[in-house]
């Protein structure tokens, strides 16, 4: 089944240099009688928030089902499945401080009618503790999301300002006006990102791309799709600020990164 077997045709929609999708492109695509439109509520690398409500309006007008991957956005922005008219929304527990290996498919479109005669489905044994853990994590996230968002965004901005002030040429990637509160994605000119990561691994948890693609040397498909300059792809670093991050940790991370970048530049000059 799938595209390779000829069962479906997949069309990939482009994004701009901020990783944001164009509503005009979505509208033109939906004019071709699309069965299912899939969009991320928030990008997992640069943190860009997509205009899901507007996209949902376009999909509804075209009679197209909409699937929203809200894995990154859950617990960080309000998710309004019914108001948006979303047929399917995917969530993952570990992104809201719940147990790993548990997720949810939220869908008002799922039928509760019994299966037709001749159809039989063997349901697997549910992970009850994991499901309960996700439910509890969801309740906490709903209760604390607003206050957490303000505090986390302030910490992210503190880290961003420190890095911009101390590392020459550093730029922030993604849509600065529309991004997740805890996301900070930057690029540093003339410094290989893997060398920076190697020098701060003992002090700062950061990566050169998405966690699901760890170990990959090439720039991520996200940065390639953004079509940003090569040096920004090669010097990209992804950081996150979370519920338990403190101001002291942010300051120590900024200081460690400043030292690491200086060491890498010195080594490159000495041996280049």
Residue 245: both structure tokens together: 């991050």
Active-site residue 38, yes or no?
A: no
Measured distance CA(189)–CA(187) in Å, rounded:
7
Measured distance CA(230)–CA(258) in Å, rounded:
22
Q: Beta-strand (E) ranges in the chain?
A: 36-40, 65-69, 88-92, 103-106, 171-172, 183-187, 236-240
Buried b (16+ CB within 10 A) or exposed e, 23-42: eeebeebbeeebeebebbbb
**How crowded is the C-beta side of 104, counted as CA atoms within 13 Å?**
22
- Lay out the sheet containing 36-40: strands in order across: 36-40, 65-69, 88-92, 103-106
Q: At what angle do helices 23-30 and 52-62 cross, to 10 degrees?
A: 20
Residues in the chain: 272
In the set 5, 121, 212, 270, the catalytic residue is: 212
DSSP 126-177: P-HHHHHHHHHHHHHHHHHHHHHHHHHHHHHHHHHHHHHHHSTT-EE-S-TT
Contacting residues for 11 by C-beta, under 8 A, at least 6 apart? 29, 34
Active site residues: 212
């Amino acid at each position: 089944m799938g595209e390779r077997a000829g069962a479906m045709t997949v069309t990939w929609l482009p994004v701009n240099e901020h990783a944001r999708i164009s509503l005009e492109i979505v509208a033109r695509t939906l004019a071709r009688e699309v069965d299912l439109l899939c969009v991320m509520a928030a990008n997992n690398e640069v943190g860009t928030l997509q205009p899901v409500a507007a996209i949902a309006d376009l999909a509804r007008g075209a009679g197209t089902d909409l699937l929203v991957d809200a894995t990154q956005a859950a617990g960080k922005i309000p998710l309004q499945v019914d108001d948006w008219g979303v047929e399917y929304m995917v969530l993952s527990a570990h992104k809201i401080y719940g147990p790993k290996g548990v997720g949810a498919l939220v869908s008002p479109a799922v039928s509760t009618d019994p299966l037709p005669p001749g159809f039989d489905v063997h349901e697997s044994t549910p992970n009850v503790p994991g499901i309960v853990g996700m439910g509890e994590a969801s309740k906490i996230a709903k209760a604390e999301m607003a206050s957490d968002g303000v505090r986390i965004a302030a910490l992210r901005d503190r880290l961003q300002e420190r890095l911009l002030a101390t590392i020459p040429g550093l730029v922030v990637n993604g849509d600065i006006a529309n991004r997740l509160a805890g996301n900070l994605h930057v690029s540093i000119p003339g410094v290989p990102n893997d060398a920076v990561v190697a020098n701060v691994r003992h002090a700062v948890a950061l990566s050169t791309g998405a966690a699901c693609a760890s170990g990959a040397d090439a720039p991520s498909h996200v940065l390639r799709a953004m079509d940003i300059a090569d040096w920004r792809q090669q010097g990209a670093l992804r950081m996150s600020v979370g519920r338990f991050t403190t101001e002291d940790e942010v300051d120590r991370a900024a200081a460690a990164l400043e030292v690491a970048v200086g060491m890498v530049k010195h080594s490159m000059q000495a041996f280049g």
